[in-house]
Amino acid sequence: MFADVDPVTGNLTAETIAKTITPKTKAVIVVHLFGRPAKMDSICKLLSERGIALIEDCAQAHYAEYKGQKVGTFGDFGCFSLQSSKQITCGDGGMTLVNTEKYSERASLFADKGFDRKRSLSTILFLAPNYWMTELQAAVGRCQLRRLPGLIRSRQQSAEQLRQALQDIPQIILPEDTDAKNAWWRFTFGVDERAIGVSTMDFVEALKVEGVKTSKEFPARPLFAHDLISKQQTYGTSRFPFSKVFYEQPMLDNFPGFKEFAGRMIPIGWSSQVKPRHVDSIDAAIRKVVQALVSSRSKSSAAVPVAG
């Protein structure tokens, strides 16, 4: 089952999750999209009351916080990516925090081909992948973890500088993070299309002309619209696990929050290397585009046809 998202942040909420819970729901995966924490207090309350496990997808949210608590520590599992585009990396792969004792042994077995090493290597308890990390990757990852607080702090300082700079532009939509500390995998904002008189896509193209690298490619469409799910292309022609359970293909129109978020969200690549001069350049480019579009729209509105 897929739940809708908040139209401003792109994150799941307790309200959208509650609408999709059924008696068959065993776990919920919450994504902290672009490094911005979801509102975890209400989500945790909802799931704990129903005895549903919580898996946090923190792939883009290393060291982010919600109300003073690190993401990845709220749920039963906290999953982090160490792929090369993330805040820290050891080449690829990732790591998982197992926060609930009853799941720790099962998680360890799942990462190790189902081998029960307490007995012997010849005892395989269930079908499982091999998720071993090499010693070299682990060594690099440990060094990266020590650098992580400083790297995130640099991202937060530059992102906050840009956020503050853009706050006085009424045509720009900025999510509020009053209860959270964003990890800023990407800097995201939106535009009021009615106020500027053009589509978000046209605004993005105008920003590119001014030298601001951005893209509308992610997330251009929901997960359920990809062939993997929409055409049930899994293991050969088996359609497993879709062939074994009842599954009804979701319709995009039933997810107004996602449609609004994906339609107006603009991501800008971010890193710990962003300096004040870069922020000033981005701010100037956004202001230039907004002013040009607003001015053009004002002139068009003022033009009154005269009968000849």
Query: In the chain, what percentage of residues exceed pLDDT 90?
Result: 70
pLDDT at site 109: 92
Task: List pLDDT tens digits, range 87-128.
Answer: 999 988 899 999 999 999 999 999 999 988 887 767 889 989
Element (H, E) at 301: helix 276-302
State pLDDT tens for residues 117-169.
887 767 889 989 998 889 999 999 999 999 999 999 999 999 999 999 999 99
| 102 inside domain | no
Q: How many domains does the chain have?
A: 1
* β strands within the chain, DSSP E: 27-31, 53-57, 65-66, 69-70, 77-81, 94-98, 172-173, 180-181, 186-191, 265-269
Residue 119 belongs to a domain: no
129 contacts 123 by C-beta, under 8 angstroms: no
Tell me, what's the pLDDT at 172? 95
Q: Verify cis geometry, omega within 30 degrees of 0, for the bond prior to 241.
A: yes
Query: Do the Cβ atoms of 24 and 51 come closer than 8 Å?
Result: no
- Say what the pLDDT of residue 308 is: 44
Q: Is residue 293 part of a domain?
A: yes
How many other C-beta atoms are found inside a 10 Å radius of the C-beta of residue 229?
17
Burial 36-62 (b: 16+ CB within 10 A, else e): bbbbbeebbebbeeeeebbbbbbbbbb
CA 244 from centroid of its chain's CA atoms:
29
CB-side neighbour CA atoms (13 Å) of 293: 25
Q: Indicate whether 167 belongs to any domain.
A: yes
Among residues of the chain, what percentage have pLDDT more than 70?
95
DSSP symbol at 112: B
Q: What pLDDT does 305 receive?
A: 53
Q: Which two tokens stand for residue 171?
A: 């045509």
Neighbours of 68 (CB within 10 A): 8
> CA nearest 66: which of 42, 39, 93, 95?
39
| CATH number, residue 298 | 3.90.1150.10
Is the residue at 263 inside a domain?
A: yes
Q: Please state at what angle helix 135-166 crosses helix 276-302, rounded to 10 degrees.
A: 40
Does 126 fall in a domain?
A: no
Taking 50 as the pLDDT cut, the residues of the chain under it are: 304, 306-308
Instruction: Assess if residue 215 is contained within a domain.
Output: yes
Q: Which helix (H) or strand (E) holds 150?
A: helix 135-166
Residue 216's pLDDT is what? 79
What pLDDT is attached to residue 289? Answer: 95
Q: How many CA atoms lie within 13 A of 125 on its CB side?
A: 15
Got the DSSP string for 176-235? Answer: --TTEE---SEEEEEE-HHHHTS-HHHHHHHHHHTT--B-S-TTSS-GGGSHHHHS---S
pLDDT of 95: 93
* C-alpha to C-alpha distance for 204 and 210, rounded to whole angstroms: 10
The number of angstroms, rounded, from the C-alpha of 82 to the middle of its chain's C-alpha atoms is: 15
List Cβ<8 Å contacts ≥24 apart for 168-177: 169/286, 169/287, 169/290, 170/195, 171/195, 171/196, 171/290, 171/294, 172/286, 172/290, 173/8, 173/264, 175/8, 175/9, 175/36, 177/36
d(CA 84, CA 67): 28
Query: By residue range, what is the domain housing residue 58?
Result: 14-93+133-302
User: Which amino acid, 208?
Assistant: K
Residue 71 corresponds to which amino acid? V
In a domain, 122, yes or no: no
